[in-house]
Copies of this chain bind each other. A is one copy, B any other.
Amino acid sequence: MAEFIEPVEHLADMFRRLEGVGKKSALRMAFSVLDLSEESAKEFSDAILDVKTKVRLCSCCQNITVDELCPVCSSPKRDRSQICVVEDPRALAAIERAGVFQGLYHVLHGEISPMHGVGPDKLKIKELLERLKDGEVAEVIVATNPTVEGEATAMYISKLITPLGVKVTRIANGVPVGGDLEYADEVTLRRAIEGRRNI
């Protein structure tokens, strides 16, 4: 016998399909929905359908958008000679939030991970190469995560693009600003020292 009545169990199962949601959180959220007003529940239900129907990928950079082109690609103010390659729209948003980059982006929608059966063909790499054809792009900055998969993805992309005569760079590794050296791991410290600059 299920522990809870079917509609609650079923909704909890739906929550569990989302990234990072465990059994207990899923149940807590399902019960929370019970406490919503009818209107809020309807709004919630519609919002789920809306993201699937209204959101699509920018035909240029593959970022999520509601229009044909995302706000970055359609902005006349951006530097079209630089493309920053990120794994997902959240990484893009983090860089935009920092306001430190004025070029365009390219969203891969994943990282190469043989462990999880994700090969290069599952990523938006073909679309990236297509953007380099007209020669307008001078530099591709690979901003995938500093993890095994992110590094592998960066290496793969670098090997494809370098022969095209486009400069490929990688974001720096080092000690996070405001962080404490005492808590930095060995690899980060090694990278921080290797990447030292004159002051």
Query: Which A residues contact B (CB, under 8 angstroms)?
Result: 3-8, 10-11, 13-15, 17-21, 25, 27-36, 38, 40-52, 54-55, 64-66, 88-90, 93, 96-97
Contacts and interface: CB of A to CB of B under 8 A. Distances in A.
B50 A90 contact: no
Contact of A21 (B29, B34, B43, B50): B29
A97 B43 CA distance: 34
B93 A50 contact: no
Contact of A19 (B32, B42, B46, B48): B32
A172 B194 CA distance: 62
Given A51-B11, A51-B30, A17 B36 contact: yes
Nearest to A21: B29
